[in-house]
Structure 1
Amino acid sequence: MGGKYRITGDTYPRMRRPRNRRRIVLAGVSAVVALGLAGWGTLQLIDVFTGGDKSAVAASHPRDCPTPKPVAPAKALPKPAAVKVNVYNATTTTGLAKAAADELKKRGFAIGEVGNAPEAYDKKVPGTAVLLGAPTAANGSFAVLGTQLPGAVQKTDKRKTAEVDLILGAKFKAFSTPAEATAAMAALTKPSPAPSASCAPTATTKSG
């Protein structure tokens, strides 16, 4: 071109091409897909190294343990004064039944008959003692009297009355100390928490 519109120099202006919106959209979609594939690949690697065991992930984030709730005793135990005890001596030691009865009376028990054991038990109790009573005594009187003499054998018969027979055996030496008996009684009447499942993660190993 000539005249005043003549182009001089060795650099020529270039016309900029208009932007293509479709390419921009496609580029964005491609980036999202690439990120998704990268995340999926990471999960696959985790499955490979953990063996696909979802419990391994759950174990690293254990659930909170529930607070154990106290469990009250199924039935209130009677007081020693409500337990009437017949004391019998099945040993060769003279006066043992009376001495035992006097001690139980000091500890608050009601005392009934005191004397030698009936023929079925006389000199036939090799252990510490035998507690003999009605079936209902197993859930009350036996437990209370048992705090004074741990290790006594418990037996029931067909009697209808509430008294309990204490038959002293060859290995009887003495009752528990008052402190020991009190502690044993407290353990029987104190509510204890129910057992709860452990929330600690369990480590597992896999071979192969």
Structure 2
Amino acid sequence: MTSPHRPADPRHGRPAPRPEPQWSDPRHDEEGRRIFTEDDLTDYFEAVDPRVLARDRRRRHWWHAIVLTVVALLVAAGTVTAWQVLRGEWTIPGWEAAPPPEPLLCPAGTVEYALDSTVTVYNGTSIGGLAGDVANALEERDFVIGGVGNKGFSTSNMVAVVVSGKGGRGTSLAVQRNIEGAVYLPDRREDDTVDVIVGRKYKGLRPAGDVSRKPGPLDCQRLETESPSGG
């Protein structure tokens, strides 16, 4: 007779055995991965030899000391090197200071009177319209005017300053001949343009009939004159 609670085993005519209960391990998740509890961690760390922990701490301290020492040596070496470079006791290839430019000298000899260079007139004062008036006056005497503008100078208490490179010396002489009292100032420009900076002492152009067109020297006043071989 079969039990009313269990189905009979059709092969033997006996009740089927009860299935074993499936107990889950609380230290594993559903995918079989181990879950460490607080007790597991406590047991692990208590099992570590204190001497091993002390040895690891000493190693870390040694490494920290070595790193700090290396950094301190690098900083000290950089400081000493920078100080020697600043004092000129040691030079780094490619870091040498560029030699100072040679001083500009007043051209020696005479230059030809010319009107072929472009002249730009600047107002070196606070007087409105001064540059335009001078430019118009020079244009009436066949100068080629490139423009007008404002430009500060070390002093405005002057008649005018004429600035050019080697190529504009002839026109610079012509400007000086027409603006009595104008001072020539050479610069290192490579083109033949001429700049005229007008100051407060400008009173007008010299009468056209009094302007000499003969070759002559440029008037630099305070500048030292270069040797004749300097061109």
TM-score by length of 2: 0.43
More helix by share: 1
TM-score (ref. length: structure 1): 0.47
Which of 1 and 2 has greater Rg? 2
